[in-house]
């Protein structure tokens, strides 16, 4: 059974409220995206396997645990997913990072892929796809389809905000993928924006509007 989780930790709710505020400026917005990504990373990696090791403390020998098993790869969806990478890497610094470039055609809302560069050994890695916004779900669905075609079998998706339409579409298209988001909003508007949402994540991270 895959996980579909709204991670409503108080710190995440607080930071997402600041992200929603139209008066939050670019630098603060960027910092908050990174911080929420770090908090979501904590929850999404809860099931990583560990193994026991022996460590000499200044006092005695400790039997303790370290991460074991498959290595990780982060795949941000360009552009806005880039804003989540630093926060994730601060938790899992050894992860490799691939990139998928997708933009939504503003008329059809269909995603258009323009770039894809993934680690060569992506098939052997646990992959975490990053995008702050899960709106119609089209971008996340296409990105994950591309990653699966390269052989990856263990994939998670982390987003900041989701619309019910996007959550449902992603879960139906890729029922094996665990989904972690910080908040589930009311709906999409007729332009495919999440309501109430936070606006255009890419533009707010990069200051392009």
Task: Kindly list the catalytic residues.
Answer: 104, 108, 200, 203
Least Cβ distance, residue 202 to ligand URA (angstroms): 6
Least Cβ distance, residue 197 to ligand URA (angstroms): 4
Residue 194 binding: pick among ligand URA, ligand PRP, none (C-beta 5-8 Å cut-off by kind)? ligand URA
Hey, CA dihedral for 93, 179, 207, 142, is it positive or negative? Answer: positive
> Phi then psi for 171, rounded to 5 degrees?
-65, -40
Residue 166 binding: pick among ligand PRP, ligand URA, none (C-beta 5-8 Å cut-off by kind)? ligand PRP
Nearer to ligand PRP among residue 44 and residue 129 (C-beta): 129
State which residue has the least CB distance to ligand PRP.
202
Length of the chain: 209
Residue 206 CA: distances (Å) to CA of 15, 74, 184, 186, 191:
18, 20, 24, 26, 21
Residue of 103, 150, 164, 173 interacting with ligand PRP (CB under 6 A): 103
- Contact criterion met (CB below 8 Å) for 113 and 102: yes
Residue of 18, 91, 97, 109 interacting with ligand PRP (CB under 6 A): 109
Closest Cα partner for 55 from 40, 70, 66, 45? 66
Which residues are CB-contacts of 133 (< 8 A; sequence separation ≥ 6)?
80, 159, 160, 161, 162, 194, 197, 201
Site string for ligand PRP, 134-173 (x = CB under 6 A): xxxxxxx-------------------------x-------
Residue of 71, 104, 150, 171 interacting with ligand PRP (CB under 6 A): 104
Residue with tokens 């009311």: 186
Binding residues (CB under 6 A) for ligand URA: these are 80, 133, 135, 192-194, 197, 200-202
Residue of 76, 98, 111, 182 interacting with ligand PRP (CB under 6 A): 111
What 8-state DSSP symbol labels residue 57?
-
Rounded distance between C-alpha atoms, residue 208 and residue 82, angstroms: 15
Q: Which residues bind ligand PRP (CB under 6 A)?
A: 77-80, 102-104, 109, 111, 131-140, 166, 192, 200-202
């Amino acid at each position: 059974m895959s996980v579909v989780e709204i991670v409503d930790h108080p710190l995440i709710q607080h930071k997402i409220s600041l992200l929603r505020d139209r008066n939050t400026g670019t630098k603060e917005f960027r910092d908050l995206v990174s911080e929420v990504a770090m908090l979501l990373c904590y929850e999404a990696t809860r099931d990583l396997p560990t193994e026991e090791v022996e460590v000499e403390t200044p006092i005695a020998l400790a039997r303790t645990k370290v991460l074991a098993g498959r290595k990780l790869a982060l795949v941000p969806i360009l552009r806005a997913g880039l804003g989540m990478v630093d926060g994730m890497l601060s938790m899992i610094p050894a992860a490799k990072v691939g990139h998928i470039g997708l933009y939504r055609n503003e008329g059809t809302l269909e995603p258009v892929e323009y770039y894809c560069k993934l680690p060569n050994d992506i098939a052997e890695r646990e992959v975490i796809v990053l995008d702050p916004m899960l709106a119609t779900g089209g971008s996340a669905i296409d990105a994950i389809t591309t990653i699966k075609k390269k052989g990856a079998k263990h994939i998670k998706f982390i987003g900041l905000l989701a619309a019910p339409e996007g959550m449902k579409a992603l879960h139906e298209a890729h029922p094996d993928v665990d989904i972690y988001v910080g908040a589930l909003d009311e709906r999409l508007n007729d332009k495919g924006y999440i309501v109430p949402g936070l606006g255009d994540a890419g533009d707010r991270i990069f200051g392009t509007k």
